[in-house]
Structure 1
Amino acid sequence: MTSLPEILAAATPMENGLRMEIPASWMQGRTAYGGVSSAMALHAAQQLTPDLPPLRSAQVSFVGPLAGGVDVTARLLRRGKNAAWVQADVTSEAGLGLAATFVFVRDMESKVAHKEAPAPDFPLPDPDTVTYKGPKDFFIHNFELVDDRSDARGKSEWLRWVRLDEREGLDPMVHLIAVADALPPAAFKLIGGPAPVSSMTWLCNLLTPEPRTRDGWWLLRAVSEYAANGCSSQTMAIWNADGEPIATQMQSVALFV
């Protein structure tokens, strides 16, 4: 039980949620990869009621470390005519590790149709492209990766094609949330290499009610717009294989250097 579909399938019901297991292969240091713990929280939120509208926004706080057995609870905060707010928490023996608010909103007719999020110029990997997987004892080994290493990128910009290895049967939104945090903090480029950092908050706004791509590939970008006094604020975005904008994001990162 190491892939995300297997983790979700093995979840056992409990009062107000699900009990799940985070395997060592999804860890990043002393805590789980934020994308997998957020995907688990979303999965539990989706189980509350079968008629939730599409996810439109995820607001996540990374409160503490998560590892091993966890309890994922969810409760409905409010249900209106067009939208529903669901709170989901992930706790382990160490206490609360993740607190998320998911906002589900149905499509509505609007006279406004403004789309201005062109994809960066970084071609989709072809079948002959050499991909990178990362070390086996680290969460990134669950993905295929292709980084843009050109000098054209800004000094604090990271651009990467990402594909989740095991994705069969995943809900499209759960799949996307699991992938969406698969970039290192962009401030790594300013630091000059790996360093002790910790994501604190993450906001992901979905631009489509049903995220889809080809061959599992997603293009992720992160740009640190401010890094000082031990904190970095970065903007992020996701496009599918056809260059269509899928999500915009923002993240706050603590820098212990």
Structure 2
Amino acid sequence: MHIDKLLEHTAAAVKSGDNQWTFSHPGLPDTWGQGRTAFGGITAAMLHHALSLVVEEDRSLRAYHTNFVGPVSFDTPIELVVEKLRAGRNMTQFLAKLVQNGDVCVCIQACFGVNRESKISIDKLPSHSMAVPQKPNYIPQIPKLMPRFFRYYDLAVEQGQFPFSWSKHSHYHGWMRFKEPLENFNYSHLISLIDAWPPAILQQLKLPAPASTVSWDIEMVQPLNITSDNPWFGYQVDTRLANDGYAHTEATIWDDKERVVALSRQTIAVFG
């Protein structure tokens, strides 16, 4: 099921207070699966979609902190619960939860803010030298080895190796996009796209082993300015530390105009 169709299935909000809304969703098909649970990037995207329906129009996403609390089952109804913690003159803070069978599966704290004039202007964001791929080296969709949700994304590797290739690398440089065009590219799409990459540390393993993101922080540093219906985004991620069964990674994301649009940090549990 195309991501736009999936997001459209979010029902109109039921307001349960001055600052709380609940959205219902019929559930995710197993094509969006990642092992026994739904792909984390799509659940985080669904929560952002719910947030976008209630946030003030003059505010854009600035920071997005996600904790993946428990597995999300397939074809099982979901509730997206959004609570406005505070709305000030410049920023609005939200808490959002994906609830299934009465259990919180994903929890998000999000900050939306207005643009403000400032005398301070610093730009030390990194650049890259990668060319948009003409003959992409895609991470293959190998049944029973790669997650099922891979069918929705193109992940083209410039540096690094495929997962479980017994590589010495612990980084990825490459490009990413959706396989099919999108109606209106927005932050919900970008959130799911950033999380589509496998943990970089998995390429050091010789045999398949599970891994799961524990917490994930995204900072949106420049507004989206997308004119294509299926743009490429540059992606570079490095593993800063891996020990005791956990890995800590930092990533930079560029749009097709070589502008840094997001910074991403993850804590990953590795069972191998």
For residue 180 of structure 1, what is the aligned residue in structure 2? 194
Check conservation: 2:160, 2:170, Cα contact below 8 A. Answer: no
Q: Is 1:63–2:78 an aligned residue pair?
A: no
Residue 189 of structure 1: SS of its match in structure 2?
helix
Whole-Å Cα distance in 2 between the matches of residues 172 and 252 of structure 1? 25
Give the structure-1-normalised TM-score. 0.90
Letter in 2 for 1:143: Y
SS of the equivalent of 2:51 reads helix
Cα deviation 1:88-142 (Å, max 9, x = unaligned): 100112721100011001111122222222333221123x546456257701110
In 1, Cα distance between equivalents of 2:174 and 2:153: 12
Q: Note if contact 1:45-1:75 (Cα within 8 Å) is conserved in structure 2.
A: no
Residues 105 and 251 of structure 1: CA distance in aligned 2, closer, same or farther (over 3 Å) = same
More divergent stretch after superposition (77-86 vs 110-119): 110-119
SS at match of 2:23: strand
SS at match of 2:247: strand
Name the CA shift for 1:131/1:227 in 2 (closer, same or farther; >3 Å). Answer: closer
Is structure 2 residue 145 aligned with structure 1 residue 145?
Answer: no
The residue type paired with residue 218 of structure 2 is C
Amino acid at match of 2:223: P
Residues 192-203 of structure 1 aligned to structure 2 (within 5 Å):
192=206, 194-203=208-217
Aligned to 1:190: 204
Change beyond 3 A, Cα 1:185–1:133: same
Does residue 17 of the first structure (1) align with residue 27 of the second (2)?
no
Q: Which residue of 233, 237, 241 corresponds with 2:252?
A: 237
Distance 1:27 1:63 in 2: 16
For structure 1, list consecutive stretches of 5 or more residues without a partner in the other structure: none
Residue of structure 1 equivalent to 2:141 = 134
* 1:190/1:135 CA distance change after superposition, 3 Å: closer
In 2: Cα distance, 1:120 partner to 1:194 partner: 31
Separation in 1 of the partners of 2:32 and 2:85? 30
Separation in structure 1 between the aligned mates of residue 168 and residue 114 of structure 2, nearest angstrom: 37
| Deviations, residues 196-250 of structure 1 (Å, cap 9, x unaligned) | 1110000000011235365411112221110001111111110111211111111
Would you say 1:51 and 2:57 are equivalent positions?
A: yes
Pick one of 237, 247, 250 that aligns with 1:222: 237
| Residue segments in structure 2 that go unaligned for 5+ positions in a row | 15-20, 162-166
Code of the aligned partner of 1:11: T
Q: 1:64 to 1:125 in 2, by over 3 A?
A: same
Question: Residue in 1 aligned with 2:17?
Answer: none
Residue-by-residue CA offset, 1:41-75 (whole Å, 9 max, x unaligned): 00111112442500011000000001232111111
The one-letter code matched in structure 1 to 2:131 is: P
**Pairwise CA distance, 1:191:** 3.0
Indicate how the Cα distance of structure 1 residues 142 and 34 shifts in structure 2: closer, same or farther if over 3 A, else same. same
> Structure 1 vs Structure 2: percent identity of aligned residues?
24
Q: Deviations over 1:161-196 (max 9, x none)?
A: 111134523451111112111111121133346421
Paired with 2:205 and 2:140, the residues of 1 have a C-alpha distance of 23
* d(CA) in 2 for partners of 1:198, 1:150: 20
